[in-house]
Amino acid sequence: MKQKMKSNNKYKMKTILILVTALSIGAKAQLPDTDIFLAAMNKSKDGKLTFGKPENITNRKGYDNQPYFTPDGKSILYVSVPDEKKGSDIYKYDLLTHKSIQITKTEESEYSPMITPDNKFISVVRVNMDSTQKMYEIPLNNHGDTKMIKGTDSAGYYCWINDSMLAQFLIRDVNVLQARNIKTGVSRVIASDIGRCLKLSADGRQLYFVLKNNATEWTLMKMNVNTYKLTPVIKTLPGSEDYCILKNGTILMGKESKLFQFNPSVDKDWTEVADFAGSINAFYRITVNAAENKLALVAYTGAKP
């Protein structure tokens, strides 16, 4: 069943990947200073969450962002810009050795690393030398042999639904959410005026995204991946669009130095579960590993990226 979401005509959100644009056109823009922090995460028998003191695992001046826990739980893929003149590359942080190695080393810029559902590739958004943005697959056993995923032009962010279905944030005058079957080439526009964060529920049945109703009111939505039915979940924390989802359906979202949770089954509103002030002044992007015992946070200095 096709769903169409109405957009506020007074609010035309043109989200641009600031780093992508700056690097692809060679602009000497000031990149945000971001670091990736890692915190221990514990869940009691009654479901209460507690967290350890976050540790800075990148700890340098510059851009380190978009952490992604690999399914095997051994490492974190992330994006780093060691030299603004050369663009961004993908790195891997080993959780056992606490060391990072470089995965890509290209003239182009790569973003948003994930492991594909078949566990054979690292998928990325690549900004090509002609400034086009498309998705590519990098074999795990041969990082130099990349292949473009057809039909992924104007890719900004994405989420794998399964080995054939891909949810994409497409950069438009009004950014849209598109579901695309990469095997058949069939695409469907789901909603417009969306946020960058796309997440799949643990059971693979629901895709979550943020609908930006207007400049101040944003709603976390979920889409049934089989029927495409859209259902509102909760209003986001003001100005926040990044979140992660636990196996029991609990949603985690941050604002400034604080972390909040919301479980649709039992909660009526967001509840504060941690304040990392002292270790982190402010963070935005967050992700949890498959075992749900580690939380990665992206801290920033200055204005929120």
Q: Name the DSSP class of 269.
A: S
Q: Considering the entire predicted model, what is its pTM? A: 0.90
pLDDT of the residue at 30? 63
Among 28-32, 39-43, 256-260, 298-302, the least confident range:
28-32
52-109 pLDDT per residue, tens: 999 999 999 999 999 999 999 999 999 999 877 789 999 999 999 999 999 999 999 9
- Confidence at 19, pLDDT banded by 50, 70, 90: very low
Residue 234 pairs in a beta bridge with: 220
pLDDT of the residue at 10? 39
Paired tokens of 247? 């196996």
**Number of C-beta neighbours around residue 46 at 10 A:** 5
Laid out side by side, the sheet with 218-224 consists of 199-200, 206-212, 218-224, 230-235
214-256 pLDDT per residue, tens: 888 999 999 999 999 999 999 999 999 999 999 999 999 999 9
Does residue 138 or residue 15 have the better pLDDT?
138
pLDDT of the residue at 216? 86
CATH of 18-24+31-300, one of 3.30.460.80, 3.10.20.90, 3.40.50.300, 2.120.10.30: 2.120.10.30
Domain ranges of the chain: 18-24+31-300
132-186 pLDDT per residue, tens: 999 999 999 888 889 999 999 999 999 999 999 999 999 999 999 999 999 999 9
CB 276 within 8 A of CB 49: no
d(CA 126, CA 142): 17
Q: Name the DSSP class of 23.
A: H
pLDDT of residue 4 exceeding 50: no
pLDDT of the residue at 213? 84
Q: Contacts by 247-252 with C-beta closer than 8 Å and gap 24+?
A: 247/202, 247/292, 248/47, 249/201, 250/47, 250/49, 251/208, 251/220, 252/286, 252/288, 252/295
**Number of C-beta neighbours around residue 45 at 10 A:** 5
d(CA 9, CA 12): 6
pLDDT of the residue at 47? 83
Taken as a whole, the chain contains a residue count of 305
